[in-house]
Amino acid sequence: MNPLLFYYLSLALAVPLGEKNHIHHQHKRAPNADPVADPQPVPQPQPIAAPSPETVYVTNIVMMDQFDDTATSTTALDSTPTSTSTDTPNFSIQLVNKNLQSEASPSSTDSSPTTTPESTTESTTVSVTTSEIASSSTANSETAQSTAQSNNSSGSYSGAKGITYSPYSNSGQCKSSSEIASDMEKLSEFTLIRVYAPDCNVISALLDSLSSNQQIFAGLFYLDSIQSDAELLATQVKSSSRGWDAIYAVAVGNEWVNSGTYSADTVVGAVSKGRSILQSLGYTGKVVTVDTVPAYQNNPTLCDASDFAAVNQHAFWNGNIAPENSGKFISDSIDSMSSLCNKDVLICETGWPTQGQTFGSLGVPGKSQQSEAIQSIISAVGDKVILFTTYNDLWKQPGSYGVEQYWGLF
**Exposed / middle / buried, residue 229 (Cβ in 10 Å: 0-12, 13-18, 19+):** buried
**Per the residue annotation, which of 54, 231, 324, 349 is the catalytic one?**
349
**Exposed / middle / buried, residue 294 (Cβ in 10 Å: 0-12, 13-18, 19+):** exposed
pLDDT score for 191: 98
pLDDT score for 156: 81
Spatial separation of the C-alpha atoms in residues 375 and 326, rounded to whole Å: 9
Q: Does the structural domain 152-387 have CATH classification 3.20.20.80?
A: yes
Inter-residue long-range contacts of 36-45, CB under 8 Å, 24+ positions, other chains counted: 36/114, 36/173, 37/114, 37/117, 39/117, 39/118, 40/117, 42/117, 42/119, 43/14, 45/12, 45/96
Residues β-bridged to residue 4: none
CB 361 within 8 A of CB 139: no
pLDDT score for 275: 99
In terms of Cα–Cα distance, which of 249, 253, 230, 266 is closest to 345? 249
pLDDT in tens, the chain (410 residues): 555 555 444 444 433 333 333 334 455 544 434 333 333 333 444 444 444 444 333 334 333 343 343 333 333 333 333 333 333 334 333 433 333 333 333 333 333 333 333 333 343 343 434 334 333 333 443 344 334 444 444 458 999 999 999 999 999 999 999 999 999 999 999 999 999 999 999 999 999 999 999 999 999 999 999 999 999 999 999 999 999 999 999 999 999 999 999 999 999 999 999 999 999 999 999 999 999 999 999 999 999 999 999 999 999 999 999 999 999 999 999 999 999 999 999 999 999 999 999 999 999 999 999 999 999 999 999 999 999 999 999 999 999 899 999 999 99
CB 171 within 8 A of CB 395: yes
CB-based contacts of 135, cutoff 8 Å, min separation 6: 124, 126
CB-based contacts of 197, cutoff 8 Å, min separation 6: 28, 219, 220, 221, 222, 229
The question of whether 349 is a catalytic residue gets the answer yes
pTM for the complete prediction? 0.67
pLDDT score for 50: 41
CB-based contacts of 388, cutoff 8 Å, min separation 6: 163, 164, 312, 314, 349, 350, 351, 407
Spatial separation of the C-alpha atoms in residues 213 and 276, rounded to whole Å: 27
Spatial separation of the C-alpha atoms in residues 338 and 356, rounded to whole Å: 33
Spatial separation of the C-alpha atoms in residues 39 and 357, rounded to whole Å: 30
pLDDT score for 3: 53
How many DSSP H helices and E strands does the chain contain? Answer: 10, 12
Domains of the chain, by residue range, sit at 152-387
